[in-house]
A and B are shown apart, each in its own frame.
Chain A
Amino acid sequence: MKIVVCIKAVPGIVLGAKVAGSGDGIEYRTPSLIANEPDEYALEEALALRGKHGGQVTAVSVGPVQSEEVLRSALAKGADRVIRVDGKNSHPDRTSFFLAHVVRGLEFDLILAGMESWDNMSSQVAIALGSRLGIPFVFGATSMALGPERTIVVTKELGGGRNQVLEIGLPALLCTQTGTRRLSHVPFAKLVQARRRPIECVAVREPGPGQQGPAGKQGPSIVDVFTPRRTHAIEMLAGAPGEVARRVAEIIEGAR
């Protein structure tokens, strides 16, 4: 089974955020880029499927050279091949364009990705990728197993505690829910080994007018980035824990 996993490198902490000159993203300082946690669950699912059925896991990430650390970690966790697409990942539609370009050149049965990135919080890239590739897609997959006749049986969340069990013809794309498996720990020795392995790097031309989807059109541009203001009155309770606890007790008594 050939599985492609999309992993985004996201900042661990964001400092000094401001609008990038081009208006298509934000600039910030960060000590390091780390794997987007929801994508890590997708990688765990991919490795588990490979463990059961054999095959190959390829991790793909769009981003700057610093994102390669995340791909090394994927190698250390067990990915067979990693590819970095050299490009900006600030706009979801453009990211899906880059990913589609690379994934079309790979053989695959299944594409897995997380549900939302920590930095952009858009939940768009994976579904847009599935749509570009013309394959069926699922958002919020909580379990998956190979089914009969080149299908995959997927349980997906509908929200509000309801689930659907789907049978989907492969190839397909699944956005995995978080927490479906325990995240594995990467031993340091394996990370060191992974550093010796090659990371393929691909450059893709920017989408232009006439490209499939909205990527070629004028998309939203960021004009401001700021810390959210509170829009309603909040009483902040300060003081020694004992005083705070007394006030909390009064609030609870008053609200019951």
Chain B
Amino acid sequence: MNGEVLVLAEHTAGELDSITLELLGKGRELADALGDRLSVVVVGRQLQGAIDRLADKADRLYYVDDPDLGVYNAEVFGEILAAAARKIAPRLFLMGYTYLGMELGPALAMQLEMPLVSNCLGIELRNHGKVAVERPLCGGTLRAREECDLPLMVSAPLTAFSAKAIRACQADVVRIPYPGERRSLRTRVREVVGNISGESTIARSDMLVAVGRGMGSPDKLRLFQELAKVLGAALACSRPVVDMGWLSSDHLVGLSGSTVRPRIYIACGISGAAQHIAGMSGSSTVIAINKDPLAPIFNVAHHGIVGDMFDVVPQIIDEWSRRSSARTAPVTSDHNNTNALNRDA
């Protein structure tokens, strides 16, 4: 084997985050093409669960397990990963364009003196040891193809890659000793708070009406609340809507909010920034309405409407209401009749 393709694993209480599986899938493809070993590194406390889940997905597994590492601290994790990566000297170092990767990636690149291509949506090998990568520019309206030399660090957002190429194998497991606190830390974690993930109303809902910056002003919210109500959907939103104070953060879909996988996701005036798409691309059916035909949301939508949502949404409300009343109209018993009356009331 020539070298190593290294994946930085992210996990929550021993369960691997989706990004880890996607990076392992891509990592396997690249390692095969390079004739390299696929390795994965994981840092934390009580890692047995994560180790068990990783050990059959890579050729080598490095781990640093210590009671001190139960809570993420950028200074500590950064130092440990830099030391480990220096020793491993990977040809390709893959990590998520996630909060973790965005915080540690540029610092690791600096310490390891490796160029970092971040927010990468595609990687392939070229001749002469070059790597071609694709990444978004200008709010996702453009893409750049870049060529880079190895060694290289790459970060990728959730859903950029597929976990399909993961191959069952038996990793040789290498424990990296925890170096302990060698210098006084300047960052102290006081507490970890909140956990919307998986518990929010929007994460539980089967149908979501999501609004974005295209809404324009908060008084328009009523229209989308009405659409959600008639459809029996929950109301969600993208980051700018929370930023403007139009909806609270428990409606937020994306990297910093909830990850949702409803049957139906109706995106209204959402451009589709990578951070938003990371939180909703697992939806079964995505219907997107946007004025801009080049909006990145159309890259993940199954059905697209290029137009003014303020024209279309009232019509959908009317159409759905008509269909609903048609469904409830043929009254066959007193029981149904009572229900219909109550609904109207």
Contacts and interface: CB of A to CB of B under 8 A. Distances in A.
A230 interface: yes
Interface string A136-153: 111110000000000001
A181 B312 CA distance: 33
A231 B115 CA distance: 28
B137 to A, nearest CB: 6
Contacts of B133: 220
Given A131-B106, A131-B110, A249-B320, A242 B315 contact: yes
A217 B115 contact: yes
A208 interface: no
A166 B257 contact: no
B262 to A, nearest CB: 10
A241 interface: yes
A226 B190 contact: no
B147 interface: yes
B192 A236 contact: no
A234 interface: yes
A236 B305 contact: yes
A157 B99 contact: yes
A164 B189 contact: yes
B190 A166 contact: yes
B107 A137 contact: yes
A110 interface: no
A17 interface: yes
Interface string B96-136: 01111011011101110111111100000000000011011
A228 B142 contact: yes
Interface in B189-228: 189-197, 200, 206-207
Interface in B85-100: 97-100
A227 B118 contact: no
B106 A224 contact: no
B98 A165 contact: no
B299 A230 contact: yes
Contacts of A132: 110
A139 B102 contact: yes
Contacts of B143: 225-228
A214 interface: yes
A251 interface: yes
A236 B139 CA distance: 22
A251 B106 contact: no
A127 B186 contact: no
B329 interface: no
A242 B188 CA distance: 58
B168 interface: no
Contacts of B135: 121-122
Nearest to B249: A161
Given A230-B299, A242-B315, A179 B239 contact: yes
Given A136-B186, A163-B194, 19 more contacts: A93-B116, A121-B138, A124-B105, A125-B106, A135-B186, A136-B75, A159-B255, A160-B197, A160-B258, A161-B196, A161-B200, A161-B258, A162-B194, A212-B110, A223-B146, A225-B137, A241-B315, A248-B305, A249-B323
8 contacts: A123-B106, A162-B193, A178-B239, A219-B115, A227-B142, A238-B305, A255-B264, A255-B285
